[in-house]
Amino acid sequence: KAGVTQTPRYLIKTRGQQVTLSCSPISGHRSVSWYQQTPGQGLQFLFEYFSETQRNKGNFPGRFSGRQFSNSRSEMNVSTLELGDSALYLCASSPLGQGRSGANVLTFGAGSRLTVL
């Protein structure tokens, strides 16, 4: 069974540009969550999509957005990039939406490492 696939793995952008990251969940998983990981802030929740609907959102500015397609693949977009957006962006999928069951394990991808210059 294929795992969670994130593309691209590495990318470099400059301030003011925008970026789109892609996540393909495990087959059959309907929930996709996105996290930002930085050395200073650790792992922070961005948002979660379940059946093409955003169900939950973390405390990030509106420059961060996402969507989920009918095949459960998800994309996240960051517009007007800032230096502080440099981070590892992790996508995780699960069979059920977050909060549905305590045992609902998140399976993570390898991440997309974004560097903003």
The secondary structure of 55-76 as a DSSP string is EEE-S--TTEEEEE-TTS-EEE
Instruction: Please list every residue from 39 through 78 that binds other proteins, using CB under 8 A.
Output: 42-43, 45, 48, 55-56, 58
Task: Return the CA Rg of the chain.
Answer: 13
* Residue (24 or 33) nearer to other proteins, CB: 33
* Residue (7 or 80) nearer to other proteins, CB: 7
Q: From the list 76, 78, 90, 116, which residue makes contact with other proteins (rule: CB under 8 A)?
A: 90
Question: Is the CB of residue 49 less than 8 Å from the CB of residue 66?
Answer: yes
Answer yes or no whether residue 28 interacts with other proteins by CB under 8 A.
Answer: no
Residue 61 CB coordination number (10 Å):
10
* Residue (43 or 80) nearer to other proteins, CB: 43
